[in-house]
Structure 1
Amino acid sequence: MSGANRIPGKGRLTPARTARFTFDGRSYTALRGDTVASALIAHGVHLVGRSFKYHRPRGIISAGPEEPNALIGVSRDTAREQPNVRATVQEVFDGMKTISQNRWPSLSFDMGGINQYLAPFFAAGFYYKTFMWPRQAWKSLYEPRIRAAAGLGVSPTEEDPDHYASRYAHCDVLVVGGGVAGLSAALAAAESGARVILCDEQPEMGGALHHDTGVTIDGQDGFAWAQDAAKRLAAMDNVTVLTRTTAFGYYAQNFLALAERVTDHLDRPAPGLPRERLWQVRAKRVVLATGAIERHMVFADNDRPGILLASAARAYLNHYGVAVGRKVGVYTASDSAYEAAFDLHRAGIAIPAIVDSRAAPGAAVLEEARRLGIEVLAGHAVLGTKGKLRVASMLVAPVNGGAKRQIVIDALITSSGWTPSVHLFSQSRGKVAFDAESQRFLPGIYAQDCVSVGACNGTDDVQATIDEALSAGRVAAAATGHAGGETLSISGAEAFAWSGGMAGAAYGAGPDDDVKAFVDFQNDVCAKDIRLAVREGMHSIEHIKRFTTNGMATDQGKLSNIHGLAIAAETLGRGIPEVGLTTFRAPYTPVTFGTLIGHSRGELFDPTRKTPIHAVEEAMGAAFEDVGQWKRAWYYPRPGEDMHRAVNRECRTVRESVGLFDASTLGKIEVVGPDAAAFLNLIYTNSWDSLKPGRCRYGIMLREDGFVYDDGVVGRIAEDRFHVTTTTGGAARVMHHMEDYLQTEFPHLNVWLTSATEQWAVIAVQGPKAREVIAPLIEGVDLSNEAFPHMSVAEAEICGVKGRLFRVSFTGELGYELNVPADFGPDVWQAVRERAEALGGCAYGTEAMHILRAEKGYIIVGQDTDGTVTPDDASLGWAVGKKKPDFVGIRGLKRPDLVREGRKQLVGLLTKDPAVVLEEGAQIVADPNQPKPMTMLGHVTSAYWSQNCGRSIAMALVAGGKARLGQTLYVPMADRTIPVEVSEMVFFDKDGGRIHG
């Protein structure tokens, strides 16, 4: 049997197709297409969990993603476990195992339930007051226990065996929501010829038509029409239809993130299928048809299992064929709940009474209730409920006082109206507006190319929704260059027209009612908690939210936000729009880490990048280090050498003979266009107009605040073409930095930027014999000092391959950088290596490179700078154009704090004991005997043993460093204090003659 509460002839599921699953170890039968929630209700199970704070029994309240209570653990096997799955969304598959959460030892008898009786001690904000004293107890006592109690489900202990996919897509029109509005908009846009993506989070299109059986469209049942429309769209070549797909984030420039559940509903997924797929969609136009969410009524003990939303009861009956009870009470402030009562009554379910807090419900629904013989108690309120693990009765009385009446029920459905789902609109940075007539927040000012249609836009009538959506679809298609679709016509009608604001939603939970009338079910926030927050001085809705945790659970307050807002406004004596609405943040509904991470796990968690020469270096026995995502040759040990000996040999060889270095990881950006020089003038501190083709220049790039952002050598290949190099770690961010300014600040410039980092393999040849090494390998360039001096660039044939030759040096020696297409990198490396080794040279790695550059006082941005260093601080003031009227960071450089005396400046350090090598990051003080805490003057940025200098050398950022030359400072360490002398940063070849060969 699939459940005693299945109603013969109701629902759209096939009775012959069944699946078995377990809940808390007990086996149940479901129909294919059931959610865990509908299957449990079919078996009369309403108790599914315990609340977070009070551990109160909680039952299923909704039939969709807004569910705050029915969070369960789901597993296929021991390795496939997922906590906090919404039972209202999770489809049943054969063999599924599910468990309830946040209870011990069992769901029906939970020891944590004692918290219900301790509730007076757990009022809103008690965390902030209780754990402030004693202060020292936070880390040792409070925090560990709070962390242990936090959360609902239990995290998996084994590695996730599933894999996840990611896909990028572009379209003309993205339609979010597959109800009447979404389908109509998608049809109109698709008929016009636009490329359309339509997504909906449910397994079938239809939206509210899953529960609303009173709608007819084009003369047929609304749900049947929706399925036909979805098939029609899926058959079009220009349309992609995505079911089980939630649009959870709306970002800048019409970029939306969608999470598609691919296999969570399958019994035995094919091995090649991903569990979930992340769609990253860039759309020219977005149509939001996200519908509306029904709100519950706020009254005493409104959280008992068996109390549901009216729309949920209709969905379980009309789509799943399941009755939520046999004697169902109704409590409402909206006409829509009447329709649920009528559907249940026609299915043979007893409706003891419809309790309506309004004095004058809609005439049409009152007439239908009288015709069906259902008692309507207008102007009445439910004051409370009884029942231990499921609702058993409701206490009813007139709202203005009078005789109370106890009504026996086994389920209670409620509705206080509908909240337009403006979450994605809000994420798009759109501004909502409060509609006083309907007491709803609706889309107001749009920030992106999108439009809201249907219930999320406050449109309630079916025909009005269709007309609005058709128009939006045509306009969106036309805006993307696809005119047409004007002949498409859809007609719709609904049995009852309804609407509902906030009036009467919280009778029995007024200012004088000290009852547990729940607003936020998951976080156990009651109406009295909202009022307490106001009395405590919280007048901003954002402060109230944080003080009470209302709307901060996994459902993001889909049911609770508007209630909390209305109660706060009432308590403050203000209008709802004066109090404001909280911010809706992505994700709209919870998204698994696997979906967000995709393939970025295991070896692909942080993708490894290798230079074109990596395999050759590996064969040479190189030891590698991780530099960002790159594997870089650290040093090249020979037999019997440890790291220090190998590095010392490499440094000495470069100074005495020649060395070759794999510099392929340098960032390389091609800047091309008639305004290329003008663009670089604005991006860099120095001038580029005077740089002639064939010459290079060192450039400093600043942030807007005036601090050093990156540096590198820029070569002018032609009048309209520059080859820009960046630091290894800065390649991507510099590219984004340039692109951002080009698009937003300097769009008038005709410039194109292309990342070429992986296009070129770069081999640096450095040392007195560098020219001798490369001369036989270069064609088309005169390498003499006169014809090709330091800081020159030329296009040449290198080993017969067209490339670019730079005469630059990061060692202070005669140096060249050979840029060749990446595929030819290994062969050119081998040719250069043979020449170098024949002349007594060797390959050197990143450690030797660091030492060689430090010997010459060359900085590395990000190591010798810390985000607060100006060019002058780094002794690079000469690279700032004094006559330039504008560049990025020019105003920042003029701030008083950046030109004051005593700033930290980059200087050299020489230890008094030449053999002592300082630790990078070590702090520096003026007086080692001063009391603690000491006044720190700065820190060591780079420190090495220099074989060429015969001593240790270091660079440091020191307050007033340039004025301290010759002074003795101290570096306090755990075991000793090291005296150091402040010096210039150049430690080797101070006159700089070696760089010119």
Structure 2
Amino acid sequence: MTSRRTAEGGLIDRSRPLQFSFDGKSYQGFKGDTLVSALLANGVRVMGRSFKYHRPRGPWGAWIEDPNAVFNVTLDGAELPNCLGAATMLETGMEARSVNAFPSARFDLKGGLDLLHRWLGAGFYYKTFIWPDWHLFEPMIRRMAGLGELNTDLIDGYASDQLHDHCEVLIVGGGAAGLAVARAAAEAGQDVVLVDDHDVAGGRLYQLDSVEGQTPRDWVDDQLAAIEAAGGRVMTATTAFGVFDHRLVGLAQQGAFGTAPRLWRIRADRIVLASGAIDRPITFADNDRPGVMSLDAACEWLARYGVLAGRDIAVLSNNSFAAPAVRMLARAGANVTEIDPTDGAIRALGGKRLKGVEVAGKRHPADTVLVSGGMTPLVHLWRHAGGKLDWCEQRQAFLPGATPEGMAAIGAANGSFDLDHALAEARAVARHEPRPDGTGTYRLTPLWPKPGSKGRQWIDFQHDVTLKDIELAARENYVSVEHLKRYTTLGMAPDQGKTSNMAGLAAMAAIQGRAIPEVGTTTFRPPFVPQPIALYSGPHAGQLYHPLKRLTLEAQHRAANAALGEYGGWLRPGWYGSGDPKFHIRDEVVTARKVAGILDASPLGKIEVIGPDAERFVDFIYYNTVSTLKPGQIRYGFMLTERGHIMDDGVIARLDRNRFLISCSSSHTDHVRAHLETWRQDGNDPDRIFIHDLTQAWSTVTVTGPKARDIVAALDIPLDLSAGAFPHMTLHYSSFDGTPVRIARVSFTGDLSYEISIRSSRAADLWQALAAAGEKLGACPVGIEALSVLRAEKGYILIGKDTEGETMPHDLGFGIPRQKKRAAFVGDRSLHMEGANRDDRKQLVGFSVEPGAPALPVGAHLVGEGERPRSQGYVTTSHDSTTLGHPIALGLLERGADRIGERVTAWHQGQRFTATICAPCFFDAEGERLHA
């Protein structure tokens, strides 16, 4: 095996050798190599097998455009499937193995499939396996499908960090044009971010002798230093994989091998596409042989990695870029022969080891054939953004056409292949000046696949699509490019058509006798290069799937010895104290009923609805009528689904004529916000209604109990707290220690209550002041568990706990709006459907248990009499009430409202319990304490 490494040159660090293996054999490369460049340096040509026929494949391209060298790579126990070898940076200890090959790429047992190629053409599986039954063949075909092997152990811990950012100018591509525009924009004072998918920026510049009088490396270093000195940011090893709505760009930033890329979502005021162009193949007989490579790729391997693609090289090119490439290869010691590919039929000679090329009947011995069929601009991101493409006859390529808003293409991505022209264009775009005229010196002779040519001519190297397959598709009327793609799998390889699509489109155009732009292109979709699924899922797994929301007052609760737990997605105090929770909860209930309790009610939703149409909107959203409220008044109400089922309950306050405050359930805030936004945009003018979720901005401390007024009065709040001036279900603004506060008289306990909301930065001061005032009177902090008992004693429900997916307002005793509300509202028609009026609907009732008897288990079924009693409902809430001296429960029971006073049996896990059906309100049914 012959070494192809040059004695000097390249960007690699020759002082840092790296050991690695491929298909079980050990090799050495250097820091800065890719897997492909290191293997080429060691004389390895066969690096993979094609998907269908298992033909030997060598690398075609030097970066993401290569479809052939695809590896499973293991390093330090981490194994990643389907790594693009030409874009995977080498690390010491890497173990690479070819995909779709056994036992190795050089010798593959399935290579014999190529002998059956006459019967395995495009669409053979549609025709062959239909008889006698597709399902007989399906398991075998599925086992053969796909590339690589996924190690499921990788899934654990393989998660992507996700970041959000903004900039004025985002430049994609760190070649000559990208660096020039980034420097000019940064020095003009703009916030610039430059991204490049290589570890070392510079694009193809390293193939040149000089750039503006400097060596390529010095010129690149100067540009990077100037960009950063002007405040710009440079992100290397970062791929812009997609452009989405409103100039949102997805970036995948590579980290250490075995870790998921970091996802950046950057929204830019302006995007400059400097993504460059790639060399395209020339189609001829047996052009898939290992050793047939891209001319541009060979120059990249030499310039970046110090690797000579071959010693005896034949160059076939139809464009003006061939001359400097030939000089570069010759200076490196290669024996180069230039051959005109337009002279006649072409055929590669040899098998796994290339022996040369035959052109017009003349044989040219060579160990490497380098081809260049013309440059194809990388316009994928342009199309993602909605940009159009124009066909350029001179360049024989699609170029950016109609410009998407806030986006520009420059350099090779725009067809400006000459360096001087690209630099001038980039600097003009940065300064918002007119672009220079002209197209540069690049010239080429059109050279596309010729239908009817002899031999097997390969269009898609990885998926084994030949020119004959495209001709077959045309005969079978798959002439649309989208149908052609799906019927033949053209362009569906890991390179996603970067090397095959243009040749495929040209072949179909020639078959139909049409021009290439008439045939069109396939749809460009993200991602620009394959990305691991973990990039999109990010950290949303395990504990972070639905992360806990945290209270501003968490430190104060911990200092008070609170037992914190998850309640409705929030980390909240369950009770206070380190002993038996049962006794702490009981003491909190007793104190709240006799004196007062202080609780953190910050998670209650605080969503404002504002605008000229706000009144009409909230009337439509709520089951109750809201428009009759006056500023400062509060009303309890329900939100329904379109099927009339209760989605959430809570209170709504009118702050002024066009402003309402919705206080929804703590666990439903996100859902309610989405519900409001959905209806705001459906049948309404969104410019006349605005939804603002201020839940996190305000913290709320509730004081509840007979002494609540005295505790709040101790704060010296300038507000009359008397029942006459401040009645139940009203709201006032005031101030605490110079900070505005909003105080609402609403209760979830059945006792006199004040909800005091303050900006979160002052919440700790408010809590400490109330705690100190309450301690003097014998009050205590109250956790969620005690609050649950207090609310159950009053018969207050929790949506989702005391209701089910079919519960309607009249099942809870709220039937008047259904009969009297004339204005349309969400779910109104459903409340009058046959199912809504059944006489056996489950209704909310209470259950009173005799003193000394055990409490009813939550979830216990309420059953009738007989040998085989059926379930008529179930218990939803159950507590042993210290206030009442006996257990109580709430539940849903068929015809429950008509059965108050009956005895009922509850069955749970083989045990039977009895209780008396009663009204759901057990405490202060007259409401005297509530209105005190």
Report the TM range for the smaller structure's normalisation: 0.7 to 0.9
Letter in 1 for 2:289: R
Deviation at 1:465, TM superposition (A): 3.3
Q: How far, CA to CA, are the matches of 2:698 and 2:726 in structure 1? A: 22
Letter in 1 for 2:167: C
Q: How far, CA to CA, are the matches of 2:450 and 2:323 in structure 1? A: 19
1:245 aligns with 2:238: yes
1:805 aligns with 2:762: no
Letter in 1 for 2:88: Q
Quickly say closer, same or farther: Cα 1:44–1:612, change in 2 above 3 A: same
Partner of 2:94: 97
Q: How far, CA to CA, are the matches of 1:191 and 1:256 in structure 2? A: 23
Quickly say closer, same or farther: Cα 1:264–1:844, change in 2 above 3 A: closer
1:20 aligns with 2:18: yes
- CA displacement, residues 801-856 of structure 1 (integer Å, 9 cap, x when unaligned): 864322123456554323343323653674587589x47x8835269639947984
- CA displacement, residues 581-623 of structure 1 (integer Å, 9 cap, x when unaligned): 4433333224467766777788767644332444565677766
Q: How far, CA to CA, are the matches of 2:159 and 2:606 in structure 1? A: 34
1:517 aligns with 2:480: no
Q: How far, CA to CA, are the matches of 2:470 and 2:399 in structure 1? A: 24
Deviation at 1:152, TM superposition (A): 1.3
Partner of 1:47: 46
Alignment partner of 1:411 out of 338, 347, 368? 368
Deviation at 1:459, TM superposition (A): 3.7
1:450 aligns with 2:407: yes
Quickly say closer, same or farther: Cα 1:950–1:567, change in 2 above 3 A: farther
Secondary structure of 1:174's aligned partner: strand
Letter in 2 for 1:256: V
Identity %: 32
1:387 aligns with 2:341: no
- CA displacement, residues 599-657 of structure 1 (integer Å, 9 cap, x when unaligned): 77887676443324445656777665435652234567996667xx9989988997898
1:908 aligns with 2:847: no
Partner of 2:36: 37
Q: How far, CA to CA, are the matches of 1:418 and 1:850 in structure 2? A: 74
Quickly say closer, same or farther: Cα 1:646–1:443, change in 2 above 3 A: farther
Counting only pairs closer than 5 Å after superposition, residues 602-751 of structure 1 correspond to structure 2 as 607-614=547-554, 625-627=565-567, 629-634=569-574, 661-669=599-607, 691-698=629-636, 712-716=650-654, 723-732=661-670
Q: How far, CA to CA, are the matches of 2:127 and 2:734 in structure 1? A: 70
Partner of 2:203: 207
Quickly say closer, same or farther: Cα 1:185–1:773, change in 2 above 3 A: closer
Counting only pairs closer than 5 Å after superposition, residues 176-215 of structure 1 correspond to structure 2 as 176-211=172-207, 213=208
1:787 aligns with 2:744: no
**Contact 1:654–1:767 under 8 Å retained in 2:** yes
Secondary structure of 1:88's aligned partner: helix
**Contact 2:449–2:467 under 8 Å retained in 1:** no
**Contact 1:300–1:518 under 8 Å retained in 2:** no
Deviation at 1:666, TM superposition (A): 2.2
Letter in 1 for 2:764: D
Q: How far, CA to CA, are the matches of 1:251 and 1:418 in structure 2? A: 26
1:421 aligns with 2:360: no
Q: How far, CA to CA, are the matches of 1:625 and 1:550 in structure 2? A: 55
Letter in 2 for 1:303: D
Deviation at 1:440, TM superposition (A): 3.6
Partner of 2:528: 588
Partner of 1:291: 276
Secondary structure of 1:258's aligned partner: strand
Counting only pairs closer than 5 Å after superposition, residues 174-573 of structure 1 correspond to structure 2 as 174-211=170-207, 213=208, 218=212, 220=213, 223=216, 226-227=219-220, 230-231=223-224, 233-234=226-227, 236-261=229-254, 278-332=263-317, 334=319, 336-337=321-322, 340-341=325-326, 343-345=328-330, 347-351=332-336, 354=339, 356=341, 358=342, 378-382=343-347, 385-388=349-352, 390-394=353-357, 396=358, 404=361, 407-434=364-391, 440-475=397-432, 497-499=442-444, 503-505=447-449, 515=456, 517-519=458-460, 521=462, 523-527=463-467, 541-542=481-482, 544-546=484-486, 548-567=488-507
**Contact 2:701–2:767 under 8 Å retained in 1:** no
TM-score (norm 2): 0.77
Deviation at 1:300, TM superposition (A): 5.0
Q: How far, CA to CA, are the matches of 1:975 and 1:571 in structure 2? A: 75
Partner of 2:852: none
Letter in 1 for 2:411: G
Q: How far, CA to CA, are the matches of 1:881 and 1:474 in structure 2? A: 66
**Contact 1:870–1:893 under 8 Å retained in 2:** no
**Contact 1:669–1:755 under 8 Å retained in 2:** yes
**Contact 1:5–1:324 under 8 Å retained in 2:** yes
TM-score (norm 1): 0.73
Q: How far, CA to CA, are the matches of 1:499 and 1:684 in structure 2? A: 69
Deviation at 1:385, TM superposition (A): 4.9
Deviation at 1:288, TM superposition (A): 0.9
Secondary structure of 1:297's aligned partner: coil
Quickly say closer, same or farther: Cα 1:192–1:27, change in 2 above 3 A: same
- CA displacement, residues 351-407 of structure 1 (integer Å, 9 cap, x when unaligned): 456352x4xxxxxxxxxxxxxxxxxxx23233x55313x43344x465xxxxx5655
- CA displacement, residues 3-32 of structure 1 (integer Å, 9 cap, x when unaligned): 7323456x4447854422212354444455
- CA displacement, residues 261-302 of structure 1 (integer Å, 9 cap, x when unaligned): 46679xxxxxxxx99655443322111111222222345544
Structure 1 unaligned runs (5+)? Answer: 266-273, 359-377, 399-403, 476-484, 930-936, 967-972
CA RMSD, Structure 1 to Structure 2 (Å): 5.8
Moved more, 529-538 or 805-814: 529-538
Q: How far, CA to CA, are the matches of 2:635 and 2:741 in structure 1? A: 19
Partner of 2:799: 860
Letter in 2 for 1:827: Q
Q: How far, CA to CA, are the matches of 2:774 and 2:134 in structure 1? A: 64
Deviation at 1:438, TM superposition (A): 5.2
Deviation at 1:230, TM superposition (A): 1.5
Deviation at 1:49, TM superposition (A): 3.0
Partner of 2:904: none
Moved more, 187-196 or 701-710: 701-710
Letter in 1 for 2:449: A
Partner of 1:823: 764
Letter in 2 for 1:90: T
Moved more, 99-108 or 116-125: 116-125
Q: How far, CA to CA, are the matches of 1:133 and 1:450 in structure 2? A: 55
Letter in 1 for 2:94: K
Deviation at 1:89, TM superposition (A): 2.5
Moved more, 760-769 or 238-247: 760-769
Secondary structure of 2:186's aligned partner: helix
1:170 aligns with 2:115: no
Secondary structure of 1:610's aligned partner: coil
Moved more, 169-178 or 227-236: 227-236
Deviation at 1:45, TM superposition (A): 1.5
Quickly say closer, same or farther: Cα 1:517–1:747, change in 2 above 3 A: same
- CA displacement, residues 940-964 of structure 1 (integer Å, 9 cap, x when unaligned): 99933365796764459x9xx9999
Q: How far, CA to CA, are the matches of 2:793 and 2:338 in structure 1? A: 85
Letter in 1 for 2:458: A
- CA displacement, residues 498-526 of structure 1 (integer Å, 9 cap, x when unaligned): 3466x52366778xx7x4735151x4445
Aligned pair count reads: 908
Deviation at 1:63, TM superposition (A): 1.0
Q: How far, CA to CA, are the matches of 1:568 and 1:30 in structure 2? A: 42
Deviation at 1:43, TM superposition (A): 1.9
Letter in 2 for 1:110: D
Secondary structure of 1:311's aligned partner: helix
Secondary structure of 1:609's aligned partner: coil
Letter in 2 for 1:206: G
